[in-house]
Amino acid sequence: MDPKLGRMVSSVLAFLLLLDRGMFSQPPPPPGLLGKIFQYIDVHQDEFVQTLKEWVAVESDSVQPVPRLRQELLRMMALAADRLRSLGARVDTVNTGTQQLPNGQTLPIPPIILAELGNDPEKTTVCFYGHLDVQPARQADGWRTDPYTLTEVDGKLYGRGTTDNKGPVLAWINAVSTFRALDEDLPVNIKFIIEGMEEAGSLALEELVQKEKAGFFSSVDYIVISDNLWISRRKPALTYGTRGNSYFMVEVKCRDQDFHSGTFGGILNEPMADLVALLGSLVDSSGHILIPGIYDHVAPLTEEERKMYEAIDLDLDEYQNSSQVQKFLFDTKEDLLMHLWRFPSLSIHGIEGAFDEPGAKTVIPGRVIGKFSIRLVPHMNMSMVEKQVKRYLESTFSKRNSSNQMTVSMTLGLHPWIANIRDNQYLAAKRAIKTVFGTEPDMIRDGSTIPIAQIFQATIQKSVMMLPLGAVDDGEHSQNEKINRWNYIEGSKLFAAFFLEMAKLH
């Protein structure tokens, strides 16, 4: 069989498989320009998949500070810059310096791409944020295929970075390239900010955003991020909020050296016993945080918000089974989602200084550090939370009458993010989703922390929207990460439709 024909047959079979699974209720083809755009994307989808394959093949791992991988990152950013230039974009690759490692070695931080297509003052300007670095991946860790060789199985495109975040970045570029290929003007001015260090903490990004507030970002009206997932395998979503995070360390110390439990057991206050008691006092068995005042500034639940939770497509039993959890703390979809997204939570992460190796070691740790975090929600005040935590732990520790020393510190503080869903870009995205997918989107939040959304909103003070493309089972950061061909191709159409809807509203 001709290879091109073989790929076309594979694409059709994958599409039919998705139809059979009920993932797609195809709306009628749209008329006019949008119909031409959708047809072009369908006909050229194998080319778009091939480009994704070329990008996945670049081992752009930013987490491991290794010279070879850093060179791969530089190559990845150069590939993206060249692709944008080929579309006629004005591209600036901003040098962001070097990264100093603990061993004294320095590595280059990959440049941040600032690109611009169009500067018509009569058009609205939309800026897309994405990243091209990935988490580490080795086939020996449990991948069924080579993580850096894009492999299609039953309509699923497996490979590191397919959904996080190379696929969504390319979907946006695919939408732009389709207008170019059809010799059609872009209906909006488009800007890109693309980085290569997101998985390693977005080194130098916030400083650049601050620096370019009055420059590159001065003409930006809206910012779109596509770096998260739907809550469903079938139904698209729009994300309008994320939780923040306050990370704490509580240290209990008797002395720097450990003790022999046969020599000292029973005659001193053991730091581990103190620490376990402190950690155990933070949250009860129902997940309720026991720190006084912690819920005082949580935004009240409105009836409108409650109805949004009721409309979300989530099969609780399927979610529980896929999570391999015997029982969640909540029995209804609404309660579960609200406690995942719009209420604070406290999680205990570990204990530093404790014996955690296999075997039996009769040691009393002389100094231990407990680690826990509180996921913050609007309108919690971070400095107030810090004071409440310290006051509560100091009070609880004093009641133990321990001779040990206890100190509490907040080592990380990231604010929650919430968007105005009545902004024009949310309306445009809803309309585009209805056009492409034939359904209204789930309006969701994300229980994790995505600092870049809050950084953009607070610094540039423009509307930020998260428009995910990937399905809930894509496995970002995990083995066998994938994006469905359907999500990738229909996502390319979605971005094109979004451009047109934004132009209408403007």
Task: Give the annotated binding-site residues for Mn(2+).
Answer: 131, 164, 199, 227, 477
Largest alpha-carbon pair distance within the chain? 85
φ, ψ (nearest 5 deg) of residue 166: -70, -40
Q: Binding site: residue ranges?
A: 131, 164, 199, 227, 477
Q: How far apart are CA 450 and CA 160, in angstroms?
A: 20
CA 462 distance to own-chain centroid: 20
Helices and strands counted in the chain (H then E): 15, 20
Taking alpha carbons only, the member of 227, 288, 279 closest to residue 456 is 227
Task: Give 278's Cβ-side CA count (13 Å radius).
Answer: 35
Give the CA dihedral 130, 133, 134, 140, nearest 10 degrees: 150
Q: How far apart are CA 232 and CA 23, in angstroms?
A: 10
Query: Tokens 């400083």 belong to which residue?
Result: 207
Assess whether 446 carries a catalytic annotation.
Answer: no
- Look at the chain and count its residues: 506
Catalytic residue among 133, 212, 313, 446: 133
Q: How far apart are CA 347 and CA 263, in angstroms?
A: 35
φ, ψ (nearest 5 deg) of residue 315: -90, 110
Catalytic residue among 59, 198, 212, 423: 198
Cis amide bond preceding 165, omega within 30: yes
State whether residue 446 is helix, strand or coil. Answer: strand
Q: If residue 156 lies in a helix (H) or strand (E), which one and from where to where? A: strand 156-158
Assess whether 296 carries a catalytic annotation.
Answer: no
How many degrees, rounded to 5, is the angle at CA 324 between CA 319 and CA 328? 65
Which residues participate in catalysis according to the annotation?
Answer: 133, 198
